[in-house]
Structure 1
Amino acid sequence: MKLQSLLLSLALLVPLAAPAQTLRWAAQGDVQTLDPHSQNEILTNMVNGQIYETLVRRDRQLRAVPGLATEWKQVSPLLWRLKLRQGVRFHDGTPLTAEDVVFSLQRANDANSLLRVYAAPVGKVKKIDATTLEFQLDRPNPLFLDHLVQLWIMSKPWAEKHKVVRPLNFKEREESYAALHANGTGPFVLAERQPGIKTVLRRNPAWWDQAAGNVQEAQLIPIANDATRNAALISGEVDLVLDPAPRDLARLRQTPGIKLAEGLENRLIYIGMDQARDTLLHGKAPGGKNPFKDQRVRRALYQAIDIEAIKTKLMNGQSAPTGGLTPSPLGSFNDPQLEARLPHDLAAAQKLMLEAGYAEGFEVLLDCPNNRYVNDEEICIALAAMWKKLKVAVKVNAQPRALLFPKLEKQDTSLFLYGWGGAITDAETMLTPVLRGRGEQGVGYANFGGWKHEKADALAAASSIEADPAKREGLIRAALREYREALPILPLHRQTAPWAMRAKVTAQHRADNWLELNWVTVSP
């Protein structure tokens, strides 16, 4: 009866007789904000990325190709010159200008922006003329084009008119006009935004580029319950589910009219720990200490994890356990030593706890999302059971990401589950925002545990600005070895990202788990 009630509620939200060429797609979570520079999270970026565009975009193979910039040239190691596409208009009809680009990249570099980790390395941009922009870097950036792919272009006049010159401060729960309204240059226009209910996008008839699919309207419908999402797909109330539960994949494969698109996602799921405070913020330990400051405790927790049990029992084989510290194995050059996990060894873990003075364990709160990663809450519950064998009493605090992520940004945590990844396979995408100690210009902004490892950080920082590929590879390998030894985070696995869809839907699956609506075709 509960499932039927949920389906009835969904039916009231989604008309059964949808217009032709409408895509109704579902996910367990919702967009955090429509402000394109505030947050850096895949579903939020994905929806914003249908409305807003970047100077450089990605093709179906994740290569960097022209977007709002038609061409570029590296004039010198510290100077790039780009040509701006002409004839582009924002959804409100105003033309795209070089001033809009300068404004947008300055906005993305604001303290409220989680994209500043990409904006800072592209340097200072200035208008040379109506069609030419120059980027003056203060240091070499081997990922210049990859970083431009992450930086959305807004209308300066629109932002000024609606008093959204700065990105909203999400962690302080600030609201602004840009949170619920949008004005980009992209293939889709925002038609309706009801947080937690649906977000409707409609095809932009004045888009400068050619449509590759036939979707005229796309409706994102958040459905938190796995069974309800699948039931909505099977019944035809939605056309595509972005995140079906692994346990349901076998059934979906056997369901007439349903097909799957799947592949390993460039995303590392890991456990982070507060290593900055001297006492536990959310827990209790002998002597009032913070156990996570001791590398032996971190290693003990690691070696108590039965990752194969998580893979087989929770993930139904839909994960790739790893000891690597990058979203893609390409980031560690497919090095078996950098990818290898520490062995699951409970006896060794118990010995480490004894040596560290925690033979009787401690108590701690584990912060965990329940609508972001595949089986996120279930993984946290499984880890709590495994760590109980070390006498570590873990209370799982599972929350929607809209509540949890601001909490983590404030470093209001002792222990947490998180994930990191996307289209960039280079180690830099993990080293600077996640593994390095917190600093200026967004460095370490996702380092919610406040860890610092001077030698590793120095190697990682040097790799970020090293132009010679061979030297840079050596620095990255050395940094990853140091981080592996220090264990600031405990890697778990890279998750498989399956999509389930009606047979009438054709969608391009990418390794960054990005659904490009412009490439989707819906047959009658």
Structure 2
Amino acid sequence: MNFWKTIAVVTSTTLIAPLNPAFAQDATAVTIVLPAGPDRLDPCETPRSVIGRIIKQNVVETLVELDYDKHTTLPRLAESWEQTAPTEWVFKLRQGITFHDGTPFDAKAVIHSLERTNDPALTCITRTKYLDGTDIKAAEVDAHTVKFTTKTAVPILPTLLAQLTISSVKTPKGEYTADPIGTGPYKFDHWTQGENVGLVRNDTYWGEKPVIDKATYVWRSESSVAAAMVETGEADLAFSIAPQDATNPETDKVYPNSDSAMFRLSVDIAPLNDVRVRKAINLAIDRKAFLGSVISDKAELAMQQVGPSVLGFNANLKPWPYDPDQAKALLAQAKAAGVDVDREIRMIGRPAMFANSNEFVEAAAEMLRSVGLNIKLDNLEMTQWLKMANKPFAEDRQPNIFLTMHDNNSGDAAFTAFFKYHSNGRQSELYDADLDALIVDAGTQSGEKRAEEYNEVFRRIYEDIVADVPLFHMVNYMRVGKRLDFTPTIANAVELQLARLKLK
């Protein structure tokens, strides 16, 4: 079948573009290759990997930092915190810290950053993914003490605040900035559109002085090109190396990430508003066929939008089997009931979403065509894809099968359930009042009760509603140059702290 030809192509030799020697560097500078370039560098957009890997904890810092290995929180700009009431938390801030523009880090800066992130004039992903549904406010107790209050109990507030980056009060509200001003160990130096971003070490940093004094970020969508840049010494580190290019055990490091790949379905548009059609799509995709070919054999089949390390992961869900005959039977039943199963459905991907993502969507589209669905495949650039990913959705849109990647490296289902499935979630296709109530209530619980309610949230989405097509809990390959002493972790899905890069 055609989709097997597609899989075979990806393992063949690819053309490598000529390498550009312009990024040759001194001994304490690094060049980092990203799979795509940023469309903005705003501090409130750091949950997006294309931005967070450049500026989070490098230029702009958070009050709280996550320890991904121990699933706990660590002090960063805040030195301590305590819960003083079910809906109140008091944070003590470090003293003697200044922003890169010379303004003081204090309670006013924290309040400014929260208000800016919550400003409806901006669609900050920090708000829409993490803060929506919490109704959180901050007030100054004194210059170095901030009290946060929430409308309902938020037991994981410190974890939540690990996503709120703090920027100078001179960062304007109501408009995005391309000049991030933080307190971090690196200062933003330049952004040459379409070419590179540069950071330089902040020699007045409040913490330990990093070894690396300069970082240049470039982007290459072709995995083989990125891998070759590190191999030849033109770059020091490259993200998102495809499995077929990760051929050097000395430099290529596989690590679990927090990303889950899935197809989101427009469940309110015919024929996808019929559950039989949604089930047929799930049955028609041979997920296991991709493992070890287009997708790393170390990835895992997904049944939900969060991975096993996340509180709320439902271990009782079972993967969809590959059963094209049953898929055809369901489509025939739907057609007999008057559902227009012949209507064109748009499958939407994005180049470099993950290694081999183009090849994956081409093969998946062919699998759906083979059971009788009318699939039109489109690969959209970042700006177009983001417009379709987020509300408001176009009123006249076609039914679509939308490839997306979602990371939850914060360890709690709250950072997925509202954003992806609540009626008010920015990327939610669902409008289910009962599910909404359960999502909200789960967010107020703690311990076993919290886990149980989120288990039920994901069960309903997967088994009852069949809201989407879960695919894989992903792993990443990173190529690390021979002069660096660095081992990637799950944190690198959304950030890369330059201060943790060491030279051999």
**TM-score by structure 1 length?**
0.86
The 1-side partners of 2:207 and 2:85 are apart by 31
1:432 aligned counterpart, secondary structure: helix
Question: Match for 1:314 among 294, 304, 315?
Answer: 294
Which residue does 1:361 correspond to in 2? Answer: 342
The 2-side partners of 1:122 and 1:519 are apart by 35
Gaps of 5+ in 1: 169-177, 278-289
- TM-fit CA distance, 1:59: 3.8
Superposed CA deviations along residues 148-204 of structure 1, whole A, max 9, x for unmatched, are: 011111111x22xxxx21243xxxxxxxxx12x121111111111113211111111
2:306 aligned counterpart, secondary structure: coil
Check if 1:352 corresponds to 2:344.
no
Are the aligned partners of 1:38 and 1:115 in contact in 2 as well (CA < 8 Å)? yes
Question: After alignment, is 400-409 or 214-223 more displaced?
Answer: 400-409
AA at the equivalent of 1:371: A
AA at the equivalent of 2:126: L
Which residue does 1:457 correspond to in 2? Answer: 436
The 2-side partners of 1:411 and 1:374 are apart by 27
Which residue does 1:515 correspond to in 2? Answer: 496
Question: Match for 2:268 among 263, 270, 276?
Answer: 276
- TM-fit CA distance, 1:452: 2.0
Q: How does 1:209-220 map to 2 (within 5 A)?
A: 209-211=207-209, 213-220=210-217
AA at the equivalent of 2:353: R
Number of matched residues?
Answer: 475
Question: Match for 1:262 among 247, 250, 254?
Answer: 254
AA at the equivalent of 2:194: G
Which residue does 2:236 correspond to in 1? Answer: 239
2:111 aligned counterpart, secondary structure: helix
Superposed CA deviations along residues 243-295 of structure 1, whole A, max 9, x for unmatched, are: 1111111x233xxxx41222221111000111234xxxxxxxxxxxx111111
Check if 1:82 corresponds to 2:91.
yes
Which residue does 1:302 correspond to in 2? Answer: 282
Which residue does 1:35 correspond to in 2? Answer: 42
Which residue does 2:5 correspond to in 1? Answer: none
- TM-fit CA distance, 1:142: 2.3
- Cα gap change, 1:101/1:7 in structure 2, threshold over 3 Å: closer, same or farther? same
1:87 aligned counterpart, secondary structure: coil
Question: Match for 1:96 among 77, 100, 105?
Answer: 105
Q: How does 1:161-200 map to 2 (within 5 A)?
A: 164-168=172-176, 178-179=177-178, 181-200=179-198
Question: Match for 1:155 among 168, 180, 197?
Answer: 168
Check if 1:431 corresponds to 2:443.
no
Check if 1:123 corresponds to 2:120.
no
Are the aligned partners of 1:54 and 1:149 in contact in 2 as well (CA < 8 Å)? yes
Are the aligned partners of 1:22 and 1:522 in contact in 2 as well (CA < 8 Å)? no
Are the aligned partners of 1:122 and 1:147 in contact in 2 as well (CA < 8 Å)? no
Question: After alignment, is 261-270 or 404-413 more displaced?
Answer: 404-413
- TM-fit CA distance, 1:3: 4.9
AA at the equivalent of 1:350: K
Which residue does 1:227 correspond to in 2? Answer: 224
**TM-score by structure 2 length?**
0.89
- Cα gap change, 1:374/1:138 in structure 2, threshold over 3 Å: closer, same or farther? same
Are the aligned partners of 2:260 and 2:305 in contact in 1 as well (CA < 8 Å)? yes
AA at the equivalent of 2:190: E
AA at the equivalent of 2:261: I
The 2-side partners of 1:191 and 1:132 are apart by 31
The 1-side partners of 2:201 and 2:84 are apart by 38
Check if 1:252 corresponds to 2:248.
yes
Which residue does 2:393 correspond to in 1? Answer: 411
Question: After alignment, is 24-33 or 40-49 more displaced?
Answer: 40-49
1:185 aligned counterpart, secondary structure: coil
Please identify which structure carries the higher helix content.
Answer: 1
Check if 1:140 corresponds to 2:153.
yes
The 2-side partners of 1:39 and 1:82 are apart by 22
AA at the equivalent of 1:252: N
The 2-side partners of 1:90 and 1:400 are apart by 34
Gaps of 5+ in 2: 1-13
Which residue does 1:285 correspond to in 2? Answer: none
AA at the equivalent of 2:454: I
Are the aligned partners of 2:59 and 2:181 in contact in 1 as well (CA < 8 Å)? yes
The 2-side partners of 1:334 and 1:275 are apart by 23
Are the aligned partners of 2:48 and 2:125 in contact in 1 as well (CA < 8 Å)? no
Which residue does 1:172 correspond to in 2? Answer: none
- TM-fit CA distance, 1:333: 5.5
The 2-side partners of 1:351 and 1:425 are apart by 39
The 2-side partners of 1:122 and 1:144 are apart by 12
